[in-house]
Chain A
Amino acid sequence: MADMKFTKEHEWIAVDGDVGTVGISEYAQEQLGDVVFVEVPDVGKSFNRGEEAAVVESVKAASEVFAPVDGEIVEVNSGLEDAPGTVNEDAVGGGWFFKIKINDASQLDELMDKAAYDAYTAELD
């Protein structure tokens, strides 16, 4: 897997060239519980870092998925519409939400690597 970075809001982004694949972390899916609905953005839409790009709904509540970097959506995981539970089963793999063309790669430097993110979530518990 390409280099994976994490946000404080529990998104992950795996970078391959100038495109990042984005999903929610294992910690996040665990906290949400059973995911029953996912809304992904339209391809071609642009987001600034921190803007709400997708929605993930568990039985209990709706949560936002934020764009981890500035960029344009180039592909979405339309399979989540019929199988939202994939987010629980394979959060950092098949449960990805969208691919974003990264405008400014230097924004990635401000995200956490796996070790830093694990330490961060350990603090939250």
Chain B
Amino acid sequence: MSGGASRTTHLHELHVSLGAKMVPFAGYDMPVQYTGIIAEHRHTRSGAGLFDVGHMGQGRLTGAGAAAALETLVPGDITGLAEGRMRYTQLTNEHGGILDDLMASKIGDAIFLVVNASRKESDFAHIAGSIGSDAALEILADRALIALQGPKAAAVLGRHAQGVAEMKFMTISAVDVLGAECLVSRSGYTGEDGYEISIPGESAVEIAQALLAESEVMPIGLGARDTLRLEAGLCLYGNDIDETTTPVEAGLTWSIAKRHEEGGFPGAPVIQQQIADGPERRRVGLKPDGKAPVRAHAEIRGKLGETVGEVTSGGFGPTVDGPVAMGYVKSEHAGAGTPVDIMVRGKPLPATVVSLPFVERRYFKG
């Protein structure tokens, strides 16, 4: 972020002491890598990776009308959330575009929110200004957030916390970790099994160090976080979704509740129409046929040379061991197997539209 000093998370000194390469990200000084993106990526898919995501925004909606109030801002079903359940949804604008994507979880009388770092100020202002008097937003600025991801995550966390191994994907629970009251959810952004752990700030370093002391765990930077989520087909806000893309175009209709039929959230008419008629463009996976990576903003052409879309995320997938990308194409080109060209340095590189994800997700469903 230009201008202003970088902010830091509770784990900043730990990153520096671990030899991380630090970069500015969403106004924070964050670790992009420790040993190398490819090694960190592969370790997360085979062992367990510890990520600092404390730059993300955490908040708590309370009051009798909390769930109903949030439901006026998102197309997801919030009033129907059962205790201890977590839901992925989006804040939408009046055009059906996405202001941010977020996780909303029901814990007791409160809705716990996790939003993107780059959007948290505007999200919280938007929510606070829209929820009315039956709900109140508390911004949890002094909590840290870490993610422990990978096939060994459950075994590792199970040594430090009771009951976490049995938790199912997209559930959340208040859990004592090393004496600190944490909120542990079985969720993540890698396609692997794992957890996100919201920690009182003063306990963050101790818990992170205890997890890093386990032989299966390596610290993982934002570089591998991006390659992992790209292979898992997950959207990055600002790249793959933004105020100009709707949840339907983005392939997120699964996260929109039946209540879309009644409306009652910003952009409902646009989203209802796109669900009924099909959107004009869709987010798809793109597999370049060759070895050259394609990057965000590259033009996608049909085989007649006509522009059919644009890449929104792209790079090298270490597990795929080759280039992977996603982007938007006109719906008639969105079928899996459709051949396209992606323009890189003025040359058309052949690629194929594929179903997402590139790497099978391995969530724990019990």
Contacts and interface: CB of A to CB of B under 8 A. Distances in A.
A associates with B: yes
A34 B224 CA distance: 11
B315 A55 contact: no
B133 to A, nearest CB: 46
Contacts of A39: 292
Interface in A47-65: 55, 57, 59-62
B289 to A, nearest CB: 14
B345 interface: yes
Contacts of A37: 291-293, 316, 323
Interface residues of B, number: 16
Contacts of B33: 33
A14 interface: no
The majority secondary structure among interface residues of chain B is mixed
A57 B293 CA distance: 8
Interface residues of A, number: 12
A60 B223 contact: yes
B308 interface: no
A33 B223 contact: yes
A36 interface: yes
Contacts of A59: 37-38, 223, 227, 315-316, 318
A2 to B, nearest CB: 31
Interface in B27-63: 32-33, 36-38
A34 B292 contact: no
Contacts of B333: none
Interface in B53-101: none
A81 interface: yes
Contacts of A57: 292-293, 316
B295 interface: yes
Interface of B: 32-33, 36-38, 223, 227, 291-293, 295, 315-316, 318, 323, 345
20 contacts: A33-B36, A33-B37, A33-B223, A34-B36, A34-B316, A36-B38, A36-B293, A36-B316, A37-B293, A39-B292, A55-B345, A57-B293, A59-B223, A59-B316, A59-B318, A60-B37, A60-B223, A61-B295, A62-B295, A81-B291
* The 7 A-B residue pairs with the shortest CB-CB distance in the complex, in nearest-first order: A36-B316, A59-B37, A34-B38, A59-B316, A57-B293, A34-B36, A37-B292
